[in-house]
Structure 1
Amino acid sequence: MTLDASRLIDLERYPIHCNGTERDALLAQVRADLARDGCAVIKGFLTTGGVAALVDEANSVADQGHWSKSRTNAYFTKDDPSLPEDHPRRQFYDRSNAFVPADNFSPDGPLRTVYDAPGFDEFIRDCLQEENFYRYADPLADVIVNVAEEGNGFPWHFDTNNFTVTLDIQNAETGGAFEYAAGIREGDENFDEVARVLNGTSDRVTVLELEPGDLQLFRGRYSLHRVAPLKGNRPRYVAIFSYVQEPGMVGAPERTKQLYGRTLPIHHERAGQRGDAYID
């Protein structure tokens, strides 16, 4: 049975598919939030039934997630002994969580029904006000679910994708706050301020508590961010929809292997094709 996006998304409250004053007002608010610090949250974007449907789907595929435990720096690069010991590139942290790759989600399932909903891409593009706007072409990563359990978090890092759109599906019992330092490397790497975030002395960190059904737009390519450790028996599920500035972009082979446990031929064929020169 084909799902109806209107049963998953609260289109009465957020008519993203219809031009008009309500959509315009929503756009204005999201744009203002993005301009302020690169982060905007649309509270209760999903209906109660939509949240339940996505929780059921996430439960059904959670065992397909690639679980990994590793020590990573904010750039997902290897240690560089030529740098000082206190350099941000030499600060490594434990990481333990899972990503359920995109090819585990049915084209007519609830997650992709939200992603393919009429007006969804256009709304996201209008929010970001980007002329160059494309779905991430990575067949393992265009729309995924992150799974984390007690003790797990995602340490400080920058995103590979220029724009990240996330949908909170299920929270852990406690913990799991989203923390970010907005625009910390807008224009350059800004290692000094990155170091202050990592050692806990920066005054640029915002702590954000998201709830199931909240839609978040985030410019994570330029903002250092993390998910705080979790507590309790209930796993945390967050869907990630990815958009980029260049057509045909996919993840680098090394990072794809880290996150999803495998690569596809396309990752090797398009290795090195990026629209910026940041070290990750």
Structure 2
Amino acid sequence: MSHDARELIDLDRYPIHLDGPARNAVLARVRRDLKEDGCAVIKGFLTVKGIAELTNEADGLADRGHRSFNRTNVYFTKDDPNLPSDDPRRQFFDRSNAFIPADNFAPQGPLRTIHDSAGFDGFIQDCLEEKLFFRYADPLADVIVNMAEEGSGFPWHFDTNNYTVTLAIQNAEAGGAFEYAPRIRVGDENFAEVARVLNGTSDKVKVLNLEPGDLQIFRGRYSLHRVAPLRGPRPRYVAIFSYVEEPNMVGAPERTMQLYGRTLPIHHERAGRRADSYID
């Protein structure tokens, strides 16, 4: 069944497809927030119908989510015994989560209808004020749904992608707050501050509670962040749209396998192709 983006996105409140004062006002606020701490939230971006349609789609694909239970560090790398024991690269945390890979979402379904809607990519690019701006070319990860269940969470990490756009679809009964340390990895790895976040002594951490229908723009490549554990039987759904600074970029094979349980030939063909020299 095809969908109409005008019924899914609150374009009256947020006319992202039309140049004018209303769009400019949203851009000004988002740009200010991104400049301050690399995170901006557009409340009520979806309509009530949009929330319902995306929830139904996620429910229908929930059995295709790749569930993983392991221990990871901030960078999704292996342990290095040559480093000091208190180095953040040697701090590992339990991770339990699930991702519904991008190739499960139909071109005419609600999630891709929103992603492909007129003005969506251009609006995100204008928010970020980036000249070099491309959709993530990863066929498993350009637009996905993170599905977290009771007891699940996502420990502290940096994103592989330079820009991540998330759309809150459904919350659990309790828990699931988004916590982040803004821009602590701008220019260098800043291991000392990363260590303080991990041991609970940093004063940089902010807490954000997103509601269904909220659109979040986040520079997760540079801000350490996590999702707190959930409580209750209802799963938490969050759609993730990813953008990068270089064309044709995909995830590294090791991390792709961790997150989605499989890789494609393209992940091996393009391994190591990155726009920066950060660890992950």
User: Normalising by the residue count of structure 1, what TM-score does the alignment of the two structures yield?
Assistant: 1.00
Rounded to whole Å, the distance in 2 between the matches of 1:11 and 1:44 is 11
Q: 1:217 aligns to what SS in structure 2? A: strand
CA distance, structure 2, for counterparts of residue 236 and residue 73 of structure 1:
23
* CA distance in structure 1 between the partners assigned to 2:252 and 2:232 by the alignment: 34
SS at match of 1:277: coil
Deviations 1:221-250 (A, max 9, x none): 000000000000100000000000000000
Which AA in structure 2 matches 1:31? R
**Matched residue, 1:238:** 238
Q: Which residue in the other structure is 1:29 paired with?
A: 29
Which residue number in structure 1 is paired with residue 68 of structure 2? 68
State the partner residue of 2:273. Answer: 273
Unmatched tracts of structure 2, length 5 or more: none
Cα distance in 2 for residues equivalent to 1:26 and 1:210 = 18
The Cα shift of 1:128 comes to 0.3
Structure 1 residue 210 corresponds to structure 2 residue 225? no
CA RMSD of aligned residues (A): 0.4
- 2:146 aligned residue: 146
1:250 paired residue number:
250
The 2-side partners of 1:123 and 1:133 are apart by 11
Shift of 1:8: 0.2
Determine the C-alpha separation between the residues in 2 that align with 1:185 and 1:109: 36
Question: What is the aligned partner in structure 2 of residue 201 from structure 1?
Answer: 201
Unaligned runs of 5+ in 1: none
Give, in angstroms, the shift of residue 92 of structure 1: 0.3
SS at match of 1:257: helix
Q: Report the AA paired with residue 23 of structure 1.
A: R
Does residue 7 in structure 1 map to residue 2 in structure 2?
A: no
- Matches for 1:215-226 after TM superposition, within 5 Å: 215-226=215-226
Tell me the percent identity.
76
Matched, 1:186 2:198: no
Q: What is the CA–CA distance in structure 2 between the aligned matches of 1:226 and 1:264, rounded to whole Å?
A: 27
**What is the distance in 2 between the residues matched to 1:47 and 1:4?**
12
Deviation sequence 1:154-174 (CA, Å, 0-9, x none): 000000000000000000000
Shift of 1:115: 0.3
CA shift at 1:2, angstroms?
Answer: 2.2
Equivalence for 1:126: 126
* Match in the other structure for 1:163: 163
1:45-88 C-alpha deviation (Å, 9 max, x unpaired): 00000000000000000110100000000000000111111110
Amino acid at match of 2:90: R
Aligned counterparts of 1:127 and 1:270: Cα–Cα separation in 2: 29
* Distance in 1 between residues matched to 2:213 and 2:129, nearest whole Å: 24
Q: Distance in 2 between matches of 1:247 and 1:82?
A: 35
Distance (Å, rounded) in 1 between the aligned partners of 2:19 and 2:231: 42
Whole-angstrom distance in 2 between the partners of 1:11 and 1:79: 47
Q: Distance in 1 between matches of 2:148 and 2:2?
A: 30
> Are 1:264 and 2:259 counterparts?
no
- C-alpha separation in 1, matches of 2:10 and 2:94: 38
Q: Which AA in structure 2 matches 1:175?
A: G
Report the AA paired with residue 166 of structure 2. Answer: T
Give the deviation of 1:253 after TM superposition: 0.4
Once residues 260 and 225 of structure 2 are traced to their aligned partners in structure 1, the CA distance between those partners, rounded to angstroms, is 20
Give the 4+ runs in structure 1 shifted more than 4 A.
none
User: 1:20-51 CA distances to partner (integer Å, 9 max, x unpaired)?
Assistant: 00000000000000000000000000000000
CA distance in 1, matches of 2:163, 2:182: 13
SS at match of 1:27: helix
Task: Say yes or no: does 1:108 pair with 2:108.
Answer: yes
Paired residue type of 1:39 = C
- TM-score w.r.t. the length of structure 2 is 1.00
Q: Distance in 2 between matches of 1:102 and 1:130?
A: 24
**Cross-structure match for 2:77:** 77
2:96 aligns with: 96
